[in-house]
Structure 1
């Protein structure tokens, strides 16, 4: 069963680090929602007889909580009408300051049963550095409002690797997140992507990025503290209480098809990968003309194998070698041997997984296992 992703590109303001496609042109929200709904209809017509049922829905961004309740209701109605979605998991990404008591109640009434909240840090100075709109105090308040509304599956995002941040600072953020008793935690090192305001800031100040050894220590501390608190470390950057893994994101790592709607959204059917144009106006105008503004590529065997390497090894289950053809299994087993000998990979039966030490050099290991 497929997952459905809808990209909501609207933000009240841009964060300094964000490399995702987004816009602050909030005046186009209704026209955009109308276009996304029409894209559902266009795709349904194009894929008549081949459309899979939807198991998970994910509203990402951008800041999906910048949509009004009426706009979210419109999307929900169309999802049910087009995909017949009896979803196990319906996630929306939110900013803490968008979660009023009324908004939380309405999310629950719309059938949204999972909320992913961008907390990032519980230090107000660092939030201002990131150009985040919320304050640290608004995070637990938003969590409580969601709980009171009946939403019992909440994820919180954290970020580490700030300029001048030390281990004690990072432990404070981890502890603050754990005190919320949320079901899921994601944590990412602050990345500097080309073209972002943070990238331009780094050009002027090389000290904006901390050293790799400190980042490694922070990641180790994260693993220790969060797993000791009872969370399962099921993917490189993700931790969940038992039974609360992100079903939608897990589909990406398990090679399950997904549909992406909206500007810049990607889709995958197991054989082809397609992506919509990353331009709000061009996207809406094309949809209004009855055209799908997307490009696609056919995924050949080498690309499919390489994709499996770079997603499956991110998970605690790792890569099942029995799913590979003889050609790629032989290649992968040969290339993996030196990492097994170094204690960076482990093999149990047909499963190849990263060890704890392997997590810290995962990019290098995956690059070596890619077929070239």
Structure 2
């Protein structure tokens, strides 16, 4: 039986964190290419440092002759991302940063592995992908990561709407959550480091700004007199973003997923089109885990899928309900392929993923978000629950 009484910690980082700036640019490039060509294949990586952004990777288009035309838009895309995030620092400003575009044509050898002679679509790479869901929050996410995201998202909102103009774009949060009887009941410690634009502000001044928003986001009663606070514990935090520390696409994979509460296959998401199972299979694994919990089959569920490059069907399907299952896990494993096609093409079709819906995923988590009308976060739907129950 799993532990029932313990504390668990997860962290989040804001959209202005150097790595998240890079994730955002990579996903914005992906979205722009998918908007022009829904079958575009993109693997886009971004590096950012003082006054510099470097974008590289490969692109495969239905009409490869148009690649040069699309490449002319990359500089503008990167600057728009930096502006929206809010960077206007002397050494990292959307108008003056140097943008270098090194994107190139997709490798023919990779392309031939993904699309077979009969047009059957294989996985874009080998790998293992995990999905997880738990009924401990309404979003079916672990509480520590869900509320760490919520804090930073709220602070970004009040920064951008002008309510709190002293806050800067770069920030990190960390929550240690107390579990009793296997359920989250409170917060034992709160860590928040946020960039501030007023150099005279002390850590106490910053706490006075952010504390009301943190209390607003957390469930009532979770913070009490015993909760330990660390707000800007190192003191001033004026120099932020890529000017303070270099950033790179794909370095926040635990922040992007379950905050360490569940396994991660190792692959990053941002900048990759949905033929890459690193992304699409991780999303459908979350979709399956969430629907297992929504169907009442378990209180917690982990789903693992594995793939080989150029091979369409998954090599394995594994389900673990962590001792909370109302249905045998092996029966769920047998039911899954009856209700959904887990080939790359099948995943993309079921979740309608060939759309420009990815830049919005680049900060505050790829999971635990509400499904959107245009198809964004389609993997958060629970529309497979009844079919799963019937297939058992």
- With normalisation by structure 1, the TM-score equals 0.24
Q: Whose helix proportion is higher, 1 or 2? A: 1
Q: Which has the higher contact order (CA 8 A, sep 6+)?
A: 2
- With normalisation by structure 2, the TM-score equals 0.23
